[in-house]
Amino acid sequence: MSRVICVLLIGIFASSCGAQSEPKPAPPTPPAPRSSADDSPYDWPESVCELKDERIREASGIAASRANPGLFYIINDSNNDPFVFVVDKKGETRVTIRLVGAKNIDWEDISMAPGEKPDTWDVVVADIGDNNGKRSTKELYRFPEPNISDDTPKKLDIEPVLYETGLSLGPANAETFMVHPKTGCGYLVTRARPNSRVDVYKLPAPWKREGITRMFKIAEPTFLPNAAPLMQTITAGDISPDGRRLILRTYVGGLEYTLPDDDGDLDFDKIFTTRPRMISLAMEPQGEAVCYTPDGKALWTVSEKVPTYLFEAKRLEKAPAGIGAANSPRANEDE
């Protein structure tokens, strides 16, 4: 319905303008307002660049490269070519990776994962979308991160390892898949429809290549009191490089969860029961991608609509007072 309205509006605009020249693309929308407590540990998001590659027209996932500082992996949404675009901070596509044998049914997220050898990383493309709730399996395409230099060909063909998974509670739409940078466990978060719950599923490490691995539900994430439905519509997510923070993106901002200081890395699953802190992200049209930088000091986002901009929200050097209090399990649920 929204596309029909959009087409009608474009037609009306064109007829009213006559022979006037085409208008330039509108600048990025200002960021969403901060939480009422103004306690976001991040500065206002800033537009860094516009993506110049016209093939990136439905960006649904972003991940920050570990082997190639300053580069990002970006994927398109459903029914596009099985390409992973390697983009720099100037908006230029440095390399296009074609995943040999892969099919883009509904690619929704991309994540970094610890490799088999120390200090190596893999890239994981998550084909997990299911708008109709009918897919019995979800596919994960995993490949070692390439080292990219000025001599690297502009096009690379890489054959990924395919992992097939299923959800213990049956088919569900999802747009978020994250991998813990230390344990290698995967986490899938479903996208809730109005008045429905959000489920978190876990894929324990090591992942199995043979057969279909069933992921079991481990939690339902805590939301802010009286949160609007759009604030519970999860479109992307990532885990910080130190494995102690988690960002879930929605259409109207972000939710960052933090492990209490006295919890070790093995208790990461508890993070979904902590109370999140609202993060101001750019009000991008259909924003469905977010990632941490390799040092964990910033969040990067990109929109699924064109023109497509890269935004950065830098973490404040000194977090606002009281930030730790919000991280106790189910804190202040009765507010």
> What CATH number corresponds to the domain at position 159?
2.120.10
- Over residues 66-115, the pLDDT tens digits come to 999 999 999 999 989 999 999 999 999 999 999 999 999 999 999 999 99
Cβ distance 126 to 110 under 8 Å? yes
Q: What does the pLDDT read at residue 87?
A: 98
> Three-class SS of residue 143?
strand
- Over residues 8-63, the pLDDT tens digits come to 333 433 434 444 444 444 445 545 444 444 578 999 999 999 999 999 999 999 99
Q: Let me know if residue 82 belongs to a domain.
A: yes
Q: Let me know if residue 335 belongs to a domain.
A: no
The domain of 54 spans 28-327
> How many domains is the chain partitioned into structurally?
1
Q: Let me know if residue 181 belongs to a domain.
A: yes
Separation of alpha carbons 252 and 303, rounded Å: 12
Q: Which helix (H) or strand (E) holds 13?
A: helix 2-17
Q: What does the pLDDT read at residue 265?
A: 56
Mean pLDDT of 116-140: 96
Separation of alpha carbons 223 and 234, rounded Å: 11
DSSP class of residue 280 equals -
- Over residues 141-190, the pLDDT tens digits come to 999 999 999 999 999 999 999 999 999 999 999 999 999 999 999 999 99
Q: What's this model's pTM, rounded to 2 decimal places? A: 0.85
Separation of alpha carbons 228 and 211, rounded Å: 39
Give the closest residue to 61 by CA, choosing from 112, 121, 131.
112
Q: Let me know if residue 199 belongs to a domain.
A: yes
Q: Let me know if residue 124 belongs to a domain.
A: yes
Q: What does the pLDDT read at residue 36?
A: 40
Separation of alpha carbons 124 and 139, rounded Å: 10
Separation of alpha carbons 221 and 333, rounded Å: 13
Q: Let me know if residue 130 belongs to a domain.
A: yes
